Chain A
Amino acid sequence: MTTGLYAPRPGAAPLPRMIAAQAALETRMLLRNGEQLLLTVVIPTLLLVLFSSVDIVDTGAGEAVDFLTPGVLALAVMSTAFTGQAIATGFERRYGVLKRLASSPLPRWGLMAAKTLAVLVTEVLQIVLLTVIAFALGWSPQGNPLAVLLLLVLGTAAFSGLGLLMAGTLKAEATLGAANLVFLLLLVGGGVIVPLDRFPSGAQDVLGLLPISALSDGLRDVLQHGAGMPWGDLAILAAWAVVGLAAAGRFFRWE
């Protein structure tokens, strides 16, 4: 029976509307996932509260919270842009979500833009939460907010490139394991809660080149010590961002 209900009337929604819808959905998926929240919210919050209140790690001169907050902010960026994004995208690839969306009106770059937006929205929520907690613990930040913003954006770009590279090349299970392992290793060896100068000097030089070390060190220079633009750390992050995003663009497989 002809009802005309299904009569073709094709057309793509306006691009900004598609990207906004996609970003909103991606953000909801992220916030609904319990394991993701553990990684992005619970662990950074616990580390900040625990190590600020209990003197476990020698954080050097000054208030512990002033040392810890920049590191935990760096960790929050890594947890969302790298670990969370890698795991989520890996499983989306595995379950054909990326494939299905690739035949939708949303162009592939639009999907990537939406993913980036979802990461940024999540990071804003994390940073607001962690900042409020840090202030409650007596945090007194210094420095230029613009330098902080630049560090956060470049850090996000660097971690996103690496996360997407992993998600787009490895099996979902391998990504899950590797992303968590890297998170743990970088948490310990990336200057987040343990100052890098506690490591042997040879190791320090290598660890200092990691994106997490550059981000936590840069944030600490600005927020704890009131330094100007941390050009060295910004350069390291920019290099990781270029290499990671280029490799992800080159090797990412959609299914």
Chain B
Amino acid sequence: MRSEPVVQVQALVKRYGTKTAVDGLDLVARAGVTAVLGPNGAGKTTTVETCEGYRKPDSGTVRVLGLDPVRQSRALNPRIGVMLQSGGVYSGARADEMLRHVARLHAHPLDVDALIERLGLGGCGRTTYRRLSGGQQQRLALAMAVVGRPELVFLDEPTAGLDPQARHATWDLVRDLRADGVSVILTTHYMDEAEQLADDVAIIDAGRVIAQGSPEELCRGGAENTLRFSGRPGLDVGSLLKALPADCTAAELTPGSYRVGGKVDPQLLATVTSWCAQHGVMPERISVERHTLEDVFLELTGKELRS
């Protein structure tokens, strides 16, 4: 799905006091679903909120659907849908009342009753927002983002804290939006969410995009495969590394849990097991895994994605 960019961010810098939240970030998102992936505090929300027109860049440029989100918000706002990470609703408003209200601000909104049904908000009845469950509040925010039939939807951590069922309902809606030609920018720190939904993934760390591509492209890069095994803690990883071919990596991720990266073929597996035999180590739970986004992230940043 190559086409005109829906979002174009160039050399974006955003500081809060002395803290630099976004540090020269470049990002191009095209039609389809783009996941902005990164740990808490990486600058995901700041980047997305700059695209939504909430924050003025300290430097750099941001274009959304070709428009400046701050100075051309009147033209842009009807064309985008926004789901904030939390809040956004009058505490005394009922779910259907708020959704109907947002629909009234648009010229050709979706059918509100159908949307309520689809997202399972029908059971909210006369309950006001502050008494809705976290999951209901989240789904209402999602409904508010799509009800105006936008071209582009921004979802900031749309499934954080949702139960699996509600999570899949949200994923299904994102897939339907994509199929109907709506572009989606979503931030997440869930790997599987990015792998499941995204055409394109931008990995952000410390205010910069450190890698971007389709999930397949990203997982193909670097080590092709991963071999994991468990043994007693504190094995001599340096000695293991010496036994391995030159381009391999080996590390003790957590005490007793080891990871070997590189071209994992039968020969490599034999090398690892014979090294274990020489050292009197019984490798337990030995497994060969496809390289995941999680591994890519770990390799690029040396950090685990925290949730």
Contact = CB atoms under 8 A, between A and B. Distances in A.
A25 B107 CA distance: 18
Contacts of A97: 87-90
Contacts of B282: none
B35 interface: no
Nearest to B176: A6
B155 interface: no
Given A6-B146, A6-B149, A99-B54, A13 B80 contact: no
Contact of A103 (B80, B87, B93, B151): B80
Nearest to A33: B92
Contacts of A28: 97
Interface string A1-27: 111111111111100011001100100
A149 B151 CA distance: 47
Given A10-B79, A28-B97, A32-B92, 15 more contacts: A1-B176, A4-B180, A5-B110, A5-B176, A6-B110, A8-B151, A11-B108, A13-B104, A13-B106, A18-B104, A18-B105, A33-B92, A92-B90, A95-B91, A103-B52
A106 interface: yes
A95 B87 contact: yes
Interface of B: 52-54, 73-74, 77-80, 82, 84, 86-93, 97, 101-102, 104-108, 110, 144, 146, 148-151, 176-177, 179-182
A104 interface: yes
Contacts of A107: 74
Main secondary structure of the interface of B (DSSP, over half): loop
Nearest to B93: A29
Given A100-B89, A104-B77, A12 B181 contact: no
Main secondary structure of the interface of A (DSSP, over half): loop
Contacts of B93: 25, 29
Interface of A: 1-13, 17-18, 21-22, 25, 28-29, 32-33, 91-92, 95-97, 99-100, 102-107, 255
A5 B109 CA distance: 11
Contact of B149 (A9, A17, A96): A9
B172 to A, nearest CB: 10
Contacts of A92: 90
Given A12-B107, A99-B84, A105-B105, A2 B180 contact: yes
A238 B270 CA distance: 88
A105 B77 contact: yes
Contacts of A12: 77-78, 105-107
